[in-house]
Amino acid sequence: MANLLENIDYPSDLKKVKEKNLPQVCAELREMIIREASCNPGHFGASMGVVELTVALHYVYNAPYDKLIWDVGHQAYGHKILTGRRKQFHTNRSYKGISGFPNRSESEYDAFGVGHSSTSISAALGISIAAQLNGEKDRKVVAIIGDGSMTGGMAFEGLNNAGGANADILVILNDNNMSIDPNVGGISRYFVRMQTSKAYNKLRSGVWQVLKHFRKTGRNMLALLRKHQHAVKSLVFDDSNLFEALGFRYFGPVDGHDVVGLTRILNDLKEIPGPKLLHILTKKGKGFIPAEKDATKWHAPGKFDAVTGEIFKESDSNPKIAKYQIVFGQTLLELARKNSEIVGVTPAMPSGCSMNIMMEEMPDRAFDVGIAEPHAVTFAAGLAVSGKIPFVNIYSSFMQRSYDQIIHDVALQKLNVVFCMDRGGLVGADGATHHGVFDLSFMRNIPNMTVSAPMDEIELRNLMYTAQLPDKGPFSIRYPRGNGLNREWKTDFVEITVGKGRKMADGNDVAILSIGHTGNFVTQARKMLTAENISVAHYDMRFVKPIDSEILDEVAAGFDQIITIEDGLIDGGFGSAVLEYFASRGIQKKVVRLGVPDRFVEQGTQKELYRECGFDAEGICQTVRDMIKVSV
Ligand X SMILES: Cc1ncc(C[n+]2csc(CCOP(=O)(O)OP(=O)(O)O)c2C)c(N)n1
Residues with catalytic function:
284, 373, 401
Q: Which is nearer to ligand X, 249 or 401 (CB)?
A: 401
Q: Which is nearer to ligand X, 116 or 204 (CB)?
A: 116
| DSSP code per residue over 249-310 | EEEEEEETT-HHHHHHHHHHHHTS-S-EEEEEE--TTTT-HHHHH-TTTTSS--SB-TTT-P
Instruction: Bin 448: left if φ > 0, else alpha if -120 < ψ < 50, else beta.
Output: left
Crossing angle between the packed helical segments 51-60 and 259-270, to the nearest 10 degrees: 40
- If binding is defined by CB under 6 A, does position 460 make contact with ligand X? no
Q: What type of residue sits at position 498?
A: V
According to CB under 6 A, which one of 179, 378, 450, 466 is a site residue for ligand X?
179
Nearest to residue 472, comparing CAs of 411, 558, 523?
411
Contact 615, 514 (CB under 8 A): no
- Candidate ranges 144-152, 165-173, 202-210, 222-230; the one touching ligand X (CB under 6 A): 144-152
Reduced to 3 states (helix: H, G, I; strand: E, B; else coil), residue 184 is coil
Q: Which of residues 283-302 bind ligand X (CB under 6 A)?
A: 284
Nearest approach, Cβ of 146 to ligand X (angstroms)?
A: 2
According to CB under 6 A, which one of 148, 256, 575, 604 is a site residue for ligand X?
148
Nearest approach, Cβ of 437 to ligand X (angstroms)?
A: 16
Nearest approach, Cβ of 257 to ligand X (angstroms)?
A: 14
According to the 3-state scheme, what is the secondary structure of 296-365? CCCCCCCCECCCCCCECCCCCCCCCCCEHHHHHHHHHHHHHHHCCCEEEEECCCHHHHCCHHHHHHCCCC
Nearest approach, Cβ of 222 to ligand X (angstroms)?
A: 29
- How many residues touch ligand X under the rule CB under 6 A: the total is 21
Nearest to residue 279, comparing CAs of 403, 100, 144?
144
Q: DSSP code of 456?
A: S
Nearest approach, Cβ of 405 to ligand X (angstroms)?
A: 13
- If binding is defined by CB under 6 A, does position 398 make contact with ligand X? yes
According to CB under 6 A, which one of 38, 149, 234, 330 is a site residue for ligand X?
149
Q: Which of residues 418-457 bind ligand X (CB under 6 A)?
A: none
**Pairwise CA distance, residues 183 & 369, whole Å:** 10
According to CB under 6 A, which one of 75, 378, 462, 564 is a site residue for ligand X?
75
- Candidate ranges 142-150, 257-265, 462-470, 612-620; the one touching ligand X (CB under 6 A): 142-150
Contact 257, 285 (CB under 8 A): no
- Candidate ranges 67-75, 202-210, 324-332, 511-519; the one touching ligand X (CB under 6 A): 67-75
Beta strands in 160-232 (DSSP E): 169-175
What is the distance in angstroms between the CA of the first residue and the CA of the last residue of the chain?
A: 73
Within 16-119, residue ranges assigned H as helices are: 22-39, 45-49, 51-60, 77-80
Q: Which is nearer to ligand X, 281 or 371 (CB)?
A: 371
**Pairwise CA distance, residues 212 & 98, whole Å:** 45
According to CB under 6 A, which one of 25, 72, 455, 460 is a site residue for ligand X?
72
- If binding is defined by CB under 6 A, does position 178 make contact with ligand X? yes
Contact 407, 476 (CB under 8 A): no
**Pairwise CA distance, residues 100 & 74, whole Å:** 7
Q: Which is nearer to ligand X, 110 or 168 (CB)?
A: 110
SS3 helix, strand, coil % of the chain, rounded to 5? 45, 15, 40
- Candidate ranges 32-40, 171-179, 211-219, 403-411; the one touching ligand X (CB under 6 A): 171-179
- If binding is defined by CB under 6 A, does position 74 make contact with ligand X? yes
- If binding is defined by CB under 6 A, does position 144 make contact with ligand X? no
Nearest approach, Cβ of 81 to ligand X (angstroms)?
A: 17
Nearest approach, Cβ of 119 to ligand X (angstroms)?
A: 8
Q: Which is nearer to ligand X, 270 or 401 (CB)?
A: 401
Q: Which is nearer to ligand X, 75 or 234 (CB)?
A: 75
Q: Which is nearer to ligand X, 8 or 429 (CB)?
A: 429
Q: Which of residues 25-54 bind ligand X (CB under 6 A)?
A: 46, 49
Nearest approach, Cβ of 388 to ligand X (angstroms)?
A: 23
According to CB under 6 A, which one of 30, 204, 257, 401 is a site residue for ligand X?
401
CB atoms within 10 A of CB 391: 28
According to CB under 6 A, which one of 54, 103, 176, 441 is a site residue for ligand X?
176
According to CB under 6 A, which one of 29, 167, 180, 510 is a site residue for ligand X?
180
Q: Which is nearer to ligand X, 395 or 465 (CB)?
A: 395
**Pairwise CA distance, residues 103 & 97, whole Å:** 12
Q: Which is nearer to ligand X, 120 or 450 (CB)?
A: 120
Q: How far is CA 59 from the centre of its chain?
A: 29
Q: Which of residues 101-120 bind ligand X (CB under 6 A)?
A: 116-117
Q: Which is nearer to ligand X, 113 or 501 (CB)?
A: 113
Angle formed at CA 178 by CA 172 and CA 183, multiple of 5 degrees: 105
User: One symbol per residue from 350 to 379: x for binding ligand X (CB under 6 A), - otherwise; what is it?
Assistant: ---------------------x-x------
Q: What sign does the dihedral 355-356-362-364 (CA atoms) show?
A: positive
Q: Residue 607 contacts by C-beta under 8 Å, 6 or more apart in sequence?
A: 616
Contact 48, 285 (CB under 8 A): yes
User: One symbol per residue from 207 to 226: x for binding ligand X (CB under 6 A), - otherwise; what is it?
Assistant: --------------------
- If binding is defined by CB under 6 A, does position 510 make contact with ligand X? no
**Pairwise CA distance, residues 131 & 120, whole Å:** 16
Contact 163, 247 (CB under 8 A): yes
Contact 393, 172 (CB under 8 A): no
Crossing angle between the packed helical segments 259-270 and 215-227, to the nearest 10 degrees: 150
Q: Which is nearer to ligand X, 430 or 566 (CB)?
A: 430
- Candidate ranges 53-61, 140-148, 257-265, 582-590; the one touching ligand X (CB under 6 A): 140-148
Nearest approach, Cβ of 195 to ligand X (angstroms)?
A: 15
Q: Which is nearer to ligand X, 116 or 593 (CB)?
A: 116
- Candidate ranges 52-60, 72-80, 250-258, 587-595; the one touching ligand X (CB under 6 A): 72-80
- If binding is defined by CB under 6 A, does position 281 make contact with ligand X? no
According to CB under 6 A, which one of 147, 409, 457, 567 is a site residue for ligand X?
147
Q: Contact residues for ligand X (CB under 6 A)?
A: 46, 49, 72, 74-75, 116-117, 146-149, 176, 178-180, 284, 348, 371, 373, 398, 401
